[in-house]
Amino acid sequence: MTIRSKAPLRLGLAGGGTDVSPYSDLYGGAILNATISMYAYTTIEPTDDGRVEFIAPDLGKKEVYENAMEVDTDGYFILHKGVYNRIVRQFTHHPLSLRIASHVDAPVGGGLGTSSTLVVSILGAYVEWLKLPLGEYDIARLAYEIERIDLGLTGGKQDQYAATFGGFNFMEFNGDNVIVNPLRIRQSYIEELQHNLVLYYTDTSHVSADIIREQQENVKAKKESSIESMHKLKEQAQQMKEAILKGHIGEIGDILNFGWEHKKQMAQSVTNPRIDAIYNAAIEAGASGGKISGAGGGGFMFFYCPGVARYAVRDTLSKTFGGECKRYEFTPEGLKTWTV
Protein backbone atom coordinates (compact mmCIF):
# COMPACT_ATOMS: atom_id res chain seq x y z
CA MET A 1 0.00 0.00 0.00
CA THR A 2 1.18 3.50 -0.88
CA ILE A 3 -0.40 6.74 0.34
CA ARG A 4 0.15 9.97 -1.57
CA SER A 5 -0.82 13.60 -1.15
CA LYS A 6 -0.21 16.95 -2.75
CA ALA A 7 -0.99 20.50 -1.67
CA PRO A 8 -0.68 23.67 -3.79
CA LEU A 9 1.60 26.63 -3.17
CA ARG A 10 0.05 30.08 -3.15
CA LEU A 11 0.41 33.67 -4.32
CA GLY A 12 -0.44 36.20 -1.63
CA LEU A 13 -2.16 38.82 -3.77
CA ALA A 14 -3.06 41.30 -1.02
CA GLY A 15 -2.99 41.86 2.72
CA GLY A 16 0.17 39.85 3.37
CA GLY A 17 1.49 40.17 6.92
CA THR A 18 -1.82 41.07 8.54
CA ASP A 19 -2.29 37.40 9.48
CA VAL A 20 0.70 37.55 11.82
CA SER A 21 0.32 37.90 15.59
CA PRO A 22 0.21 40.30 17.42
CA TYR A 23 -1.26 42.47 14.64
CA SER A 24 -4.06 40.01 13.84
CA ASP A 25 -4.84 39.67 17.56
CA LEU A 26 -5.06 43.41 18.15
CA TYR A 27 -6.61 44.70 14.95
CA GLY A 28 -7.76 41.71 12.89
CA GLY A 29 -6.20 40.76 9.58
CA ALA A 30 -7.43 40.19 6.03
CA ILE A 31 -5.68 38.48 3.13
CA LEU A 32 -6.57 37.55 -0.43
CA ASN A 33 -4.56 34.67 -1.86
CA ALA A 34 -4.78 32.14 -4.67
CA THR A 35 -3.20 28.73 -5.12
CA ILE A 36 -1.13 27.86 -8.19
CA SER A 37 -0.04 24.73 -10.04
CA MET A 38 3.13 24.22 -8.02
CA TYR A 39 2.89 21.65 -5.24
CA ALA A 40 4.32 19.97 -2.17
CA TYR A 41 4.14 16.16 -2.53
CA THR A 42 4.27 13.43 0.11
CA THR A 43 4.40 9.64 -0.15
CA ILE A 44 3.95 7.29 2.82
CA GLU A 45 4.82 3.60 2.55
CA PRO A 46 3.79 1.66 5.68
CA THR A 47 6.43 -0.88 6.80
CA ASP A 48 6.63 -3.60 9.44
CA ASP A 49 10.22 -3.23 10.67
CA GLY A 50 9.52 -0.70 13.43
CA ARG A 51 11.53 2.01 11.71
CA VAL A 52 10.63 5.55 10.74
CA GLU A 53 12.47 6.72 7.62
CA PHE A 54 12.38 10.34 6.47
CA ILE A 55 13.56 10.76 2.87
CA ALA A 56 14.12 13.67 0.47
CA PRO A 57 14.86 11.67 -2.71
CA ASP A 58 15.70 14.67 -4.90
CA LEU A 59 18.31 15.87 -2.39
CA GLY A 60 19.70 12.50 -1.38
CA LYS A 61 18.89 13.07 2.31
CA LYS A 62 17.65 10.40 4.71
CA GLU A 63 17.22 9.91 8.47
CA VAL A 64 16.12 6.70 10.24
CA TYR A 65 14.73 6.14 13.75
CA GLU A 66 13.87 2.89 15.60
CA ASN A 67 10.60 2.32 17.50
CA ALA A 68 10.11 6.05 18.04
CA MET A 69 7.35 7.44 20.22
CA GLU A 70 9.00 10.81 19.62
CA VAL A 71 11.89 11.90 17.40
CA ASP A 72 14.20 14.83 17.98
CA THR A 73 13.42 17.88 15.87
CA ASP A 74 16.98 18.69 14.90
CA GLY A 75 18.42 18.22 11.42
CA TYR A 76 16.96 18.56 7.94
CA PHE A 77 13.53 16.94 8.47
CA ILE A 78 12.22 19.26 11.19
CA LEU A 79 8.77 19.61 9.58
CA HIS A 80 8.37 15.88 8.99
CA LYS A 81 9.37 15.16 12.58
CA GLY A 82 7.02 17.77 13.96
CA VAL A 83 4.08 16.18 12.15
CA TYR A 84 5.11 12.64 13.15
CA ASN A 85 5.41 13.62 16.82
CA ARG A 86 1.98 15.28 16.86
CA ILE A 87 0.29 12.35 15.07
CA VAL A 88 1.72 9.84 17.55
CA ARG A 89 1.02 12.01 20.59
CA GLN A 90 -2.52 13.05 19.67
CA PHE A 91 -3.89 10.16 17.60
CA THR A 92 -2.08 6.79 17.59
CA HIS A 93 -0.43 6.76 21.06
CA HIS A 94 2.09 4.21 19.77
CA PRO A 95 5.11 4.31 17.42
CA LEU A 96 4.50 4.09 13.69
CA SER A 97 6.47 2.10 11.13
CA LEU A 98 6.77 3.86 7.79
CA ARG A 99 8.87 5.36 5.04
CA ILE A 100 7.91 8.95 4.18
CA ALA A 101 9.28 10.93 1.24
CA SER A 102 8.54 14.47 0.09
CA HIS A 103 9.28 16.98 -2.63
CA VAL A 104 8.34 20.63 -3.29
CA ASP A 105 8.17 22.29 -6.72
CA ALA A 106 9.70 25.54 -5.45
CA PRO A 107 12.79 26.25 -3.34
CA VAL A 108 12.45 26.86 0.39
CA GLY A 109 12.64 30.59 1.09
CA GLY A 110 10.92 31.48 -2.17
CA GLY A 111 7.93 33.18 -0.58
CA LEU A 112 5.24 30.84 -1.93
CA GLY A 113 4.45 29.26 1.44
CA THR A 114 6.59 26.17 0.83
CA SER A 115 7.17 25.16 4.46
CA SER A 116 3.55 25.42 5.55
CA THR A 117 2.33 23.76 2.36
CA LEU A 118 4.72 20.86 2.97
CA VAL A 119 3.34 20.47 6.49
CA VAL A 120 -0.21 20.34 5.08
CA SER A 121 0.87 17.75 2.49
CA ILE A 122 2.57 15.56 5.10
CA LEU A 123 -0.36 15.87 7.48
CA GLY A 124 -2.80 15.06 4.69
CA ALA A 125 -0.97 11.82 3.93
CA TYR A 126 -1.28 10.73 7.58
CA VAL A 127 -4.98 11.64 7.58
CA GLU A 128 -5.49 9.48 4.47
CA TRP A 129 -3.46 6.56 5.87
CA LEU A 130 -4.87 6.52 9.40
CA LYS A 131 -8.40 7.62 8.40
CA LEU A 132 -8.33 10.48 10.88
CA PRO A 133 -11.63 12.37 11.26
CA LEU A 134 -10.30 15.80 10.29
CA GLY A 135 -11.98 18.34 8.00
CA GLU A 136 -10.35 21.21 6.12
CA TYR A 137 -10.39 23.67 9.03
CA ASP A 138 -9.06 20.94 11.35
CA ILE A 139 -6.14 20.10 9.07
CA ALA A 140 -5.20 23.74 8.50
CA ARG A 141 -5.40 24.54 12.22
CA LEU A 142 -3.37 21.46 13.16
CA ALA A 143 -0.70 22.32 10.56
CA TYR A 144 -0.51 25.82 12.06
CA GLU A 145 -0.14 24.45 15.60
CA ILE A 146 2.61 22.03 14.55
CA GLU A 147 4.65 24.80 12.94
CA ARG A 148 4.04 27.71 15.26
CA ILE A 149 3.50 26.02 18.64
CA ASP A 150 5.14 22.58 18.58
CA LEU A 151 8.18 23.62 16.53
CA GLY A 152 8.24 27.30 17.50
CA LEU A 153 8.68 28.51 13.93
CA THR A 154 7.81 32.14 13.30
CA GLY A 155 5.13 33.00 10.75
CA GLY A 156 1.51 33.74 10.02
CA LYS A 157 -1.63 31.69 9.40
CA GLN A 158 -2.57 32.14 5.74
CA ASP A 159 -0.34 29.48 4.15
CA GLN A 160 -1.81 26.47 5.97
CA TYR A 161 -5.36 27.49 5.05
CA ALA A 162 -4.49 28.31 1.43
CA ALA A 163 -2.83 24.92 0.92
CA THR A 164 -5.72 23.05 2.51
CA PHE A 165 -8.65 24.86 0.88
CA GLY A 166 -7.16 25.88 -2.49
CA GLY A 167 -8.54 28.37 -5.00
CA PHE A 168 -9.08 32.11 -4.55
CA ASN A 169 -9.91 32.90 -0.93
CA PHE A 170 -10.51 36.02 1.11
CA MET A 171 -9.36 35.14 4.61
CA GLU A 172 -10.13 36.93 7.86
CA PHE A 173 -8.00 36.56 11.00
CA ASN A 174 -9.12 37.58 14.47
CA GLY A 175 -6.98 36.06 17.18
CA ASP A 176 -7.38 32.29 16.97
CA ASN A 177 -10.44 32.60 14.74
CA VAL A 178 -9.88 32.15 11.00
CA ILE A 179 -12.65 32.41 8.40
CA VAL A 180 -11.98 31.30 4.82
CA ASN A 181 -14.31 32.89 2.27
CA PRO A 182 -14.00 31.16 -1.14
CA LEU A 183 -14.52 33.62 -4.00
CA ARG A 184 -16.75 32.81 -6.97
CA ILE A 185 -14.86 34.43 -9.84
CA ARG A 186 -15.72 34.22 -13.52
CA GLN A 187 -13.26 32.00 -15.35
CA SER A 188 -12.59 34.73 -17.92
CA TYR A 189 -11.42 37.05 -15.12
CA ILE A 190 -9.09 34.35 -13.81
CA GLU A 191 -7.71 33.72 -17.30
CA GLU A 192 -7.01 37.43 -17.82
CA LEU A 193 -5.29 37.74 -14.44
CA GLN A 194 -3.24 34.62 -15.14
CA HIS A 195 -2.22 35.93 -18.58
CA ASN A 196 -1.10 39.29 -17.21
CA LEU A 197 0.57 38.20 -13.97
CA VAL A 198 4.24 37.31 -14.49
CA LEU A 199 5.83 35.15 -11.77
CA TYR A 200 9.57 35.75 -11.53
CA TYR A 201 12.12 33.88 -9.40
CA THR A 202 14.94 36.20 -8.39
CA ASP A 203 17.33 33.27 -7.87
CA THR A 204 17.71 34.33 -4.24
CA SER A 205 16.02 33.18 -1.06
CA HIS A 206 15.07 34.80 2.22
CA VAL A 207 14.68 33.87 5.86
CA SER A 208 11.08 34.88 6.46
CA ALA A 209 11.33 34.34 10.23
CA ASP A 210 13.80 37.22 10.59
CA ILE A 211 11.58 39.62 8.65
CA ILE A 212 8.43 38.53 10.49
CA ARG A 213 10.14 38.92 13.87
CA GLU A 214 11.06 42.50 12.93
CA GLN A 215 7.45 43.12 11.90
CA GLN A 216 6.20 41.67 15.20
CA GLU A 217 8.59 43.80 17.24
CA ASN A 218 7.42 46.92 15.42
CA VAL A 219 3.82 46.15 16.40
CA LYS A 220 4.76 45.38 19.99
CA ALA A 221 6.69 48.66 20.16
CA LYS A 222 3.63 50.42 18.71
CA LYS A 223 5.68 51.83 15.84
CA GLU A 224 3.09 53.99 14.15
CA SER A 225 4.42 53.78 10.58
CA SER A 226 4.51 49.97 10.64
CA ILE A 227 1.04 49.60 12.14
CA GLU A 228 -0.44 52.11 9.71
CA SER A 229 1.14 50.24 6.79
CA MET A 230 -0.56 47.04 7.95
CA HIS A 231 -3.88 48.86 8.15
CA LYS A 232 -3.34 49.91 4.52
CA LEU A 233 -2.53 46.34 3.49
CA LYS A 234 -5.80 45.21 5.06
CA GLU A 235 -7.54 47.85 2.95
CA GLN A 236 -5.65 46.51 -0.07
CA ALA A 237 -7.13 43.04 0.48
CA GLN A 238 -10.63 44.55 0.26
CA GLN A 239 -9.68 46.48 -2.88
CA MET A 240 -8.28 43.33 -4.50
CA LYS A 241 -11.38 41.30 -3.64
CA GLU A 242 -13.68 43.87 -5.21
CA ALA A 243 -11.56 44.25 -8.35
CA ILE A 244 -11.35 40.51 -8.99
CA LEU A 245 -15.02 39.79 -8.27
CA LYS A 246 -16.21 42.66 -10.47
CA GLY A 247 -13.76 41.90 -13.26
CA HIS A 248 -11.85 45.16 -12.94
CA ILE A 249 -8.65 43.27 -13.71
CA GLY A 250 -6.93 46.33 -15.21
CA GLU A 251 -6.91 47.93 -11.73
CA ILE A 252 -4.88 45.14 -10.16
CA GLY A 253 -1.48 46.57 -11.07
CA ASP A 254 -2.27 49.79 -9.22
CA ILE A 255 -3.61 47.81 -6.25
CA LEU A 256 -0.42 45.73 -6.13
CA ASN A 257 1.71 48.88 -6.30
CA PHE A 258 -0.32 50.45 -3.48
CA GLY A 259 0.35 47.37 -1.35
CA TRP A 260 4.04 47.23 -2.21
CA GLU A 261 4.62 50.82 -1.13
CA HIS A 262 3.03 50.09 2.24
CA LYS A 263 4.55 46.62 2.66
CA LYS A 264 8.02 48.18 2.60
CA GLN A 265 7.07 50.17 5.70
CA MET A 266 6.27 47.05 7.73
CA ALA A 267 9.91 46.09 8.29
CA GLN A 268 13.22 47.42 7.02
CA SER A 269 14.34 44.05 5.63
CA VAL A 270 11.30 43.56 3.34
CA THR A 271 13.28 45.00 0.44
CA ASN A 272 16.89 45.65 -0.57
CA PRO A 273 18.68 47.40 -3.46
CA ARG A 274 18.46 44.35 -5.76
CA ILE A 275 14.73 43.90 -5.19
CA ASP A 276 14.14 47.61 -5.73
CA ALA A 277 16.13 47.48 -8.97
CA ILE A 278 14.11 44.49 -10.22
CA TYR A 279 10.84 46.20 -9.35
CA ASN A 280 11.80 49.44 -11.07
CA ALA A 281 13.02 47.61 -14.18
CA ALA A 282 9.72 45.73 -14.45
CA ILE A 283 7.74 48.98 -14.20
CA GLU A 284 9.93 50.63 -16.87
CA ALA A 285 9.35 47.60 -19.14
CA GLY A 286 5.58 48.00 -18.92
CA ALA A 287 4.32 46.44 -15.66
CA SER A 288 1.79 48.56 -13.78
CA GLY A 289 2.54 47.11 -10.35
CA GLY A 290 3.84 44.13 -8.45
CA LYS A 291 5.19 42.85 -5.17
CA ILE A 292 7.53 40.37 -3.60
CA SER A 293 5.88 37.11 -2.63
CA GLY A 294 5.87 36.23 1.03
CA ALA A 295 7.61 38.14 3.80
CA GLY A 296 10.19 39.77 1.52
CA GLY A 297 13.96 39.91 1.22
CA GLY A 298 14.21 37.59 -1.81
CA GLY A 299 12.56 34.65 -3.53
CA PHE A 300 9.68 35.12 -5.98
CA MET A 301 8.22 38.39 -7.21
CA PHE A 302 5.20 38.89 -9.45
CA PHE A 303 4.10 41.75 -11.69
CA TYR A 304 0.87 42.75 -13.36
CA CYS A 305 1.62 43.36 -17.06
CA PRO A 306 -1.30 44.85 -19.05
CA GLY A 307 -1.77 44.24 -22.75
CA VAL A 308 1.24 42.38 -24.10
CA ALA A 309 3.73 43.90 -21.65
CA ARG A 310 4.47 40.47 -20.16
CA TYR A 311 6.92 39.71 -22.98
CA ALA A 312 9.01 42.86 -22.51
CA VAL A 313 8.95 42.43 -18.72
CA ARG A 314 10.10 38.81 -18.92
CA ASP A 315 12.92 39.66 -21.35
CA THR A 316 14.09 42.62 -19.29
CA LEU A 317 14.19 40.68 -16.03
CA SER A 318 15.92 37.58 -17.41
CA LYS A 319 18.53 39.52 -19.40
CA THR A 320 19.28 42.09 -16.72
CA PHE A 321 19.04 40.10 -13.50
CA GLY A 322 19.10 36.41 -14.47
CA GLY A 323 16.64 34.35 -12.53
CA GLU A 324 13.66 32.74 -14.24
CA CYS A 325 10.05 33.50 -15.13
CA LYS A 326 7.96 30.51 -14.06
CA ARG A 327 4.98 29.03 -15.89
CA TYR A 328 1.97 28.41 -13.67
CA GLU A 329 -1.82 28.27 -13.63
CA PHE A 330 -4.24 29.13 -10.87
CA THR A 331 -5.68 25.96 -9.39
CA PRO A 332 -9.15 25.72 -7.83
CA GLU A 333 -8.40 22.76 -5.53
CA GLY A 334 -6.44 22.43 -2.32
CA LEU A 335 -5.05 19.37 -0.53
CA LYS A 336 -5.58 16.06 -2.32
CA THR A 337 -4.86 12.61 -0.89
CA TRP A 338 -5.19 9.11 -2.31
CA THR A 339 -4.20 5.49 -1.69
CA VAL A 340 -2.60 3.14 -4.24
CA distances from 328 to 122, 197, 253, 276 (A): 23, 10, 19, 24
Write down all domains in the chain, each with its CATH number in brackets: 3-184 (3.30.230.10), 187-326 (3.30.70.890)
Q: Quick check: is 159 catalytic?
A: yes
Indicate if the pLDDT at residue 219 is higher than 90: no
- Interhelix angle 208-220/224-246, nearest 10 degrees: 120
pTM: 0.95
pLDDT in the model for residue 207: 63
For the ranges 35-49, 54-68, 214-228, the maximum mean pLDDT occurs at 35-49
In tens, the pLDDT along 174-206 reads 988 999 999 999 999 999 999 999 999 998 766
Question: Shortest CA distance to 161 belongs to which of 172, 150, 152, 174?
Answer: 172
List CB contacts of 184: < 8 A, sequence separation 6 or more: 245
β-strand partners of 61: 56
Torsions phi, psi of 216, nearest 5? -65, -40
Quote the CA–CA distance of 304 and 197 in Å, as a whole number.
Answer: 5
In tens, the pLDDT along 302-324 reads 999 999 999 999 999 999 999 89
Confidence of residue 269 (pLDDT cuts 50, 70, 90): confident
β-strand partners of 4: 43, 338
Question: Shortest CA distance to 170 belongs to which of 183, 157, 160?
Answer: 183
Q: Which of 25, 58, 138, 159 is catalytic?
A: 159
Quote the CA–CA distance of 208 and 94 in Å, as a whole number.
Answer: 35
Query: What percent of the chain is modeled with pLDDT above 90?
Result: 80
Question: Shortest CA distance to 187 belongs to which of 249, 251, 256?
Answer: 249
Q: What is the mean pLDDT of residues 247-276?
A: 91
